[in-house]
Amino acid sequence: MAISLSRRTALALAFASISVSVSGGAAAQAAADAGRLPDFPSRPITIVVPSPAGNVNDAVARLIGQELQAAWGQPVVVENRPGAGTITGTRYVAGAPKDGHTLLLTFTAHVQNPALFRNTGYDPVKDFAAVSEVALSSVILAASPEFEPRTVAEIVQWVKARPGELAYGSYGVGTTGHILGELFKREAGLQLTHVAYKGGAPLANDLVAGHVKFGWIAVGTAMPLIKAGRLRPVAFAGAQRSELLPEVPTLQELGLRGFEPDAWMGLLAPAGTPAPRIDALSAQVARIVKKPEMARRMRELNLVPVGSTAAQFQAKLAADLQSWSRSIRELGISAE
């Protein structure tokens, strides 16, 4: 018996639906299998975070760990090893077995510390294999809402009219905020006192209260206060505007140089880890970071997801080490 046109159409649509479903499922499975190796991972993976539990780096390590565990079926343990400005945990990973089962989730301090401390015990580029840049975690110049100057140019004019009378705040000696603050002084020709706070929260509190008129603060710390109108963003460090606050200019746009390196968060392994394992890890991390749900959760942490290749991140490490080291050396900053 001949099949009617309507039945043929229905069957065609059904087969098309099955084909799309199978194709979509195959694509999803292919993504989940990205970089899968027959012998790796063969045991639990440890992600070392060289800072205390409960901060944004710790949160990101746990998010990535959950996804790696789901993809590879091996437990992923996040281990916090804070101390000496990230040096303690970093040194531990540098000396770990070179098999891809011990990783470091770190941030910009990784390439700043060798110029800030006399002996870290490792080379931030040569002793590590880059896996992937995970996210950008920018630093912003923010001001107290009642501070009269509204722009960088107005702040510069205001400070120059009152040499030595004003101070800027940072979230600690030797932090990115401190380095940027001293760079700002030099590039704009300002006489300013540095007030180093013990972390971003106390700095934010004093900015809101007007005890310090402006300062350099991590955008993640500042964002809730910016959204509430209690803190005013002035300018970003970094080569490009941040998608978190796209209306806020960069210092580079405003003609100030040396502020191009952006603050980042990334995953590293000990140098000498086999390249296929690095590639497998890099493919997985890039896939994870670019998942819509993961990207959304990172933006909730006020991070901009990246998910780079190992080669891209390795090149960034080398360039940033050179740039930050030069600035720290020329500015005479030390964390000791």
How do the domains of the chain map onto residue ranges? 45-136+263-331, 139-236
In the predicted model, is pLDDT for residue 18 greater than 60?
no
Asked if residue 221 has pLDDT above 90, the reply is yes
CA distances in angstroms from 187 to 69, 114, 197, 241, 260, listed in the order given: 47, 23, 23, 20, 13
Average pLDDT over residues 182-195: 96
CA distance 116 to 175: 9
- pTM of the complete model: 0.87
The third-level CATH classification (topology) of the domain covering 139-236 is D-Maltodextrin-Binding Protein; domain 2 (3.40.190)
Tell me the average pLDDT across 209-214. Answer: 96
Rg (CA), the chain: 24
Q: Tell me the mean pLDDT in the region 58-76.
A: 96
For the segment 126-143, the average pLDDT, to the nearest whole number, is 97
In the predicted structure, residue 88 carries a pLDDT above the cut 50: yes
**Across the chain, what does the average pLDDT equal?**
90
**Is the pLDDT score of 16 beyond 80?**
no
pLDDT value of position 35? 56
If pLDDT is split at 50, 70 and 90, which confidence band does 27 have? very low
Mean pLDDT for the stretch of residues 70-87: 95
Q: Supply 69's token pair.
A: 């565990």
Per-residue pLDDT of 106-130, as tens digits, reads: 999 999 999 999 899 999 999 999 9
- pLDDT of 286 > 90? The answer is yes
Question: What gap in Å lies between CA 275 and CA 279, rounded to an integer?
Answer: 6
Identity at 154, one-letter amino acid code? E
Assess whether pLDDT exceeds 50 at residue 303. Answer: yes
Res 251 pLDDT > 90: yes
Structure tokens at 125: 């580029």
Model confidence at 1, in pLDDT bands (50, 70, 90)?
Answer: very low
pLDDT tops 80 at residue 143: yes
Q: Can you give the pLDDT at residue 10?
A: 41
Residue 32: what pLDDT?
47
Categorize the per-residue pLDDT at 38 as very low, low, confident or very high, splitting at 50, 70 and 90.
confident
Give domain 45-136+263-331's CATH number out of 3.30.1440.10, 3.40.190.150, 3.60.20.30, 3.40.190.10: 3.40.190.150
Q: Write out the two tokens for 298.
A: 């990172």
In the prediction, which pLDDT does 336 show?
A: 82
Check whether 11 has a pLDDT greater than 80: no
Buried (b) or exposed (e) across 255-273, using 16+ Cβ within 10 A? ebebbbbbbbbbbbbbeeb
**What is the average pLDDT across 76-98?**
96
Q: Which residue has the higher pLDDT, 3 or 241?
A: 241
* % of the chain surpassing 90 pLDDT: 85
Res 29: pLDDT: 46
Instruction: Name the pLDDT band for 82 (thresholds 50, 70, 90).
Output: very high
Task: Please give the Cα distance from 299 to 244 (Å, whole number).
Answer: 8
Is it the case that residue 333 has pLDDT exceeding 60?
yes
- Quick one: pLDDT at residue 21? 38
Q: Which of 237, 260, 239, 285 is closest to 105 using CA atoms?
A: 285
pLDDT for 37 equals 81
- Asked whether residue 265 carries a pLDDT value surpassing 70, the answer given is yes
